[in-house]
Amino acid sequence: MSEYLIEVKDLCKKFPIKGGLFGREIGAVNAVNNVSFKIKKGETLGLVGESGCGKTTLGRSILRLIEPTSGEIIFNGQNIINYSAAEMRAVRRKMQIIFQDPYASLNPRMTVGDILAEPMEIHGLHTDKNARRKRLLELLNQVQLPSDALNKYPHEFSGGQRQRICIARALAVEPEFIVCDEPVSALDVSVQAQVVNLLMDLQRDLGLTFLFIAHDLKVVEYISNRVAVMYLGNMIEVAESSELYGHARHPYTKALFSAIPHASTAGRAGRIILEGDIPSPMNPPAGCHFNPRCWNATEECRKTFPPITNQSATHQYRCYNPIK
Amino acid sequence: MQANTKSPSLFKSAILRVLSEKISLAALVVVAIYFLLAFLVSIGVLASDWGKEVAASYAEPSSVVWFGADIFGRSVFLKVIKATETAVMLGVVVSMISMFIGATLGMIAGYFGGLVDEIIVWFYTTVSSIPGIMLLVAIAFILGKGTTTVFLALGLTSWVGLCRIIRAEVMKHKDREYVQAANAIGAGHVRKLVKHILPNVSHLLIINFTQTFDSAIKAEVILSFLGLSVVGRPSWGGMIDDAKLELGRGVWWQLGAATLAMFIIILAFNILGDALRDALDPKLKGK
Amino acid sequence: MKSEKILEVKDLVVEFQTDRGTVKAVNGVNFDVYKGKTIGIVGESGSGKSVTALAIMGLIPNPPGRVAGGDIRFNGKSLVNIDPSEMRKIRGNKIAMIFQEPMTSLNPVFTIGNQIEEVIELHQPHLDATQRKEKAINMLRLVGIPSPEKRVEEYPHQLSGGMRQRVMIAIALSCEPDILIADEPTTALDVTIQAQILELMKKLQKELGMGIILITHDLGVVAETCDDVAVMYCGQIVESADVKTLFNHPSHPYTRGLMDSIPSFDSTSGHKKERLQTIEGMVPSLFNLPSGCNFQERCSKVTDACRGVNGDPVLKPATDESHLVACFNPLK
Which candidate from C44, C198, C243 shows the least CB-CB separation from A188? C44
Taking the CB of residue C101, how many other CB atoms lie within 10 A of it? 15
Max avg pLDDT among A127-131, A265-269, C98-102: A127-131
Q: What is the DSSP letter of C330?
A: -
Question: CA C50 to CA C59: how far, in whole Å?
Answer: 11
Question: Which chain A residues have a beta carbon less than 8 Å from that of B204?
Answer: none
Residue B284 has pLDDT above 80, yes or no: no
Taking the CB of residue B43, how many other CB atoms lie within 10 A of it? 9
- H/E element, C22: strand C21-34
**Cross-chain residue pair A97–B181, CB shorter than 8 Å:** yes
Question: Which chain B residues have a beta carbon less than 8 Å from that of A109?
Answer: 9-10, 199-200
Percentage of chain A with pLDDT > 70?
A: 95
The distance of B211 to chain A (nearest Cα, Å) reads: 24
Supply the pLDDT for residue A164: 93
Residue B278 has pLDDT above 90, yes or no: no
Q: What is the DSSP letter of A17?
A: E
Question: Which chain B residues have a beta carbon less than 8 Å from that of A166?
Answer: 181
Question: Which chain C residues have a beta carbon less than 8 Å from that of A251?
Answer: none
**Cross-chain residue pair B180–A85, CB shorter than 8 Å:** no
Which candidate, A41, A170, A38, places its Cα nearest to that of A97? A170
Helix/strand/coil percentages in chain B, nearest 5: 75, 0, 25
Question: Which chain A residues have a beta carbon less than 8 Å from that of C217?
Answer: 188-189
Contact indicator for C198, A261 with CB cutoff of 8 Å: yes
Which candidate, A108, A102, A152, places its Cα nearest to that of B282? A108
The distance of C151 to chain A (nearest Cα, Å) reads: 15
Which candidate, A4, A7, A27, places its Cα nearest to that of A17? A27
Strands in chain B per DSSP E: none
The distance of A206 to chain C (nearest Cα, Å) reads: 16
Question: CA A248 to CA A231: how far, in whole Å?
Answer: 15
Question: Which chain C residues have a beta carbon less than 8 Å from that of A194?
Answer: 278
Higher pLDDT among residues B201 and B119, named by residue: B119
Supply the pLDDT for residue B107: 93
Which candidate from A197, A241, A268 shows the least CB-CB separation from C224? A268
What's the rounded mean pLDDT across residues B232-245? 85
B178 touches chain A (CB under 8 A): yes
Chains contacting A (3 or more CB pairs within 8 Å): B, C
C158 touches chain A (CB under 8 A): no
What's the rounded mean pLDDT across residues B142-162? 84
Contact indicator for C245, C323 with CB cutoff of 8 Å: yes
pLDDT confidence band for C285 (50 / 70 / 90):
confident
B131 touches chain A (CB under 8 A): no
What's the rounded mean pLDDT across residues B227-238? 83
Percentage of chain C with pLDDT > 90?
A: 33
Residue C320's φ and ψ, nearest 5 degrees, are: -155, 180
C198 touches chain A (CB under 8 A): yes
Higher pLDDT among residues A125 and A272, named by residue: A125
Taking only residues 185 to 224 of chain A, the set having a beta carbon closer than 8 angstroms to any beta carbon of chain C reads 188-194, 196-197, 200-201, 215, 217-219, 221-223
Question: Which chain C residues have a beta carbon less than 8 Å from that of A257?
Answer: 265
Supply the pLDDT for residue B4: 38
Contact indicator for A122, B186 with CB cutoff of 8 Å: yes
Contact indicator for A202, A86 with CB cutoff of 8 Å: no
Distances (CA, A) of A4 to A42, A96, A260, C91, C194: 9, 17, 32, 60, 37
Supply the pLDDT for residue B181: 84
Question: CA A164 to CA C142: how far, in whole Å?
Answer: 46
Residue C322 has pLDDT above 50, yes or no: yes
Residue B286 has pLDDT above 50, yes or no: no
A260 touches chain C (CB under 8 A): yes
Question: Which chain B residues have a beta carbon less than 8 Å from that of A101?
Answer: 177
pLDDT confidence band for B287 (50 / 70 / 90):
very low
Which candidate from A85, A97, A110 shows the least CB-CB separation from B184? A97
**Cross-chain residue pair A190–C219, CB shorter than 8 Å:** no
What's the rounded mean pLDDT across residues B218-224? 85
Question: CA B223 to CA B241: how far, in whole Å?
Answer: 10
**Following DSSP, what letter does each residue of C42-91 receive, concatenated?**
E--TTSSHHHHHHHHHT---TTTEEEEEEEEEETTEE-TT--HHHHHHHB
pLDDT tens readout for residues A52-96: 788 989 999 999 988 999 999 999 989 999 999 888 888 988 999
Residue C2 has pLDDT above 70, yes or no: no
Which candidate from C162, C258, C267 shows the least CB-CB separation from A277? C162
A142-156, A254-268, B192-206: least confidently modelled range: A254-268
pLDDT confidence band for A268 (50 / 70 / 90):
low
Contact indicator for C192, C208 with CB cutoff of 8 Å: no
- Tell me the three-class secondary structure of C261-321, residue by residue: HCCCCCCCCCCCCCCCCCCCCCCCCCCCCCCCCCCHHHCCCCCHHHHCCCCCCCCEECCCC
H helical segments located in C143-252: 148-151, 161-173, 191-208, 219-225, 243-248
Question: Which chain A residues have a beta carbon less than 8 Å from that of C263?
Answer: 196, 218-219, 221-223
What's the rounded mean pLDDT across residues B28-51? 86
Supply the pLDDT for residue C270: 43
Max avg pLDDT among A77-91, A257-271, B236-250, C270-284: A77-91
A153 touches chain B (CB under 8 A): yes
Higher pLDDT among residues B104 and C277, named by residue: B104
Question: CA B111 to CA B192: how far, in whole Å?
Answer: 10
pLDDT tens readout for residues A15-28: 887 776 666 777 78
For the entire predicted model, the pTM comes to 0.81
What does pLDDT average to over chain B?
84
**Cross-chain residue pair A65–B180, CB shorter than 8 Å:** yes
Helix (H, G, I), strand (E, B) or coil at A98: strand
Residue A180's φ and ψ, nearest 5 degrees, are: -100, 105
**Cross-chain residue pair C220–A277, CB shorter than 8 Å:** no
**Following DSSP, what letter does each residue of C105-168 receive, concatenated?**
HS-TTS-HHHHHHHHHHHH-TTS-HHHHHHHHHHHHHHTT-SSHHHHTT--GGGS-HHHHHHHH
Strands of C65-74's sheet, edge to edge? C21-34, C5-18, C65-74, C77-78
Question: CA C255 to CA C319: how far, in whole Å?
Answer: 15
Question: Which chain B residues have a beta carbon less than 8 Å from that of A108?
Answer: 10, 178, 200, 282, 285
Nearest-Cα residue of chain A relative to residue B280: A109
Supply the pLDDT for residue C267: 47
| Strand-pair partners of A181 | A213
Taking only residues 33 to 72 of chain A, the set having a beta carbon closer than 8 angstroms to any beta carbon of chain C reads 50-51
Nearest-Cα residue of chain B relative to residue A155: B287
Nearest-Cα residue of chain C relative to residue A240: C271
**Cross-chain residue pair A108–B287, CB shorter than 8 Å:** no
**Cross-chain residue pair A153–B7, CB shorter than 8 Å:** yes
Nearest-Cα residue of chain A relative to residue B182: A119
Supply the pLDDT for residue A270: 65
pLDDT tens readout for residues C62-94: 878 889 999 999 988 899 888 888 888 888 889
* Counts of helices then strands in chain B (DSSP H, E): 12, 0
Q: What is the DSSP letter of C243?
A: H
pLDDT tens readout for residues A201-218: 999 999 999 999 988 888
Higher pLDDT among residues A247 and C269, named by residue: A247
**Following DSSP, what letter does each residue of A112-177 receive, concatenated?**
HHHHHHHHHHHHT-S-SHHHHHHHHHHHHHHTT--GGGGGS-GGGS-HHHHHHHHHHHHHTT--SE
Supply the pLDDT for residue A209: 95
Supply the pLDDT for residue C273: 60
Higher pLDDT among residues B283 and C292, named by residue: C292
Angle of the B236-246 helix axis to the B198-225 helix axis, nearest 10: 30
What's the rounded mean pLDDT across residues C272-300? 83
What does pLDDT average to over chain C?
87
**Cross-chain residue pair A169–B185, CB shorter than 8 Å:** yes
pLDDT confidence band for B75 (50 / 70 / 90):
confident
C44 touches chain A (CB under 8 A): yes
What's the rounded mean pLDDT across residues B241-252? 83
The distance of B191 to chain A (nearest Cα, Å) reads: 9
What's the rounded mean pLDDT across residues C320-331? 88
pLDDT confidence band for B174 (50 / 70 / 90):
confident
**Following DSSP, what letter does each residue of B162-203 receive, concatenated?**
HHHHHHHHHHHHHTSHHHHHHHHTT--HHHIIIIIIHHHHHH
- How many beta-carbon contacts under 8 Å exist across A and C? 123
pLDDT tens readout for residues C172-200: 998 889 999 999 988 878 888 888 888 89
**Following DSSP, what letter does each residue of A202-222 receive, concatenated?**
HHHHHT-EEEEE-S-HHHHHH
Residue B232 has pLDDT above 90, yes or no: no
- The length of chain B is 287
Question: CA A239 to CA C181: how far, in whole Å?
Answer: 40
| Strand-pair partners of A75 | A6, A78
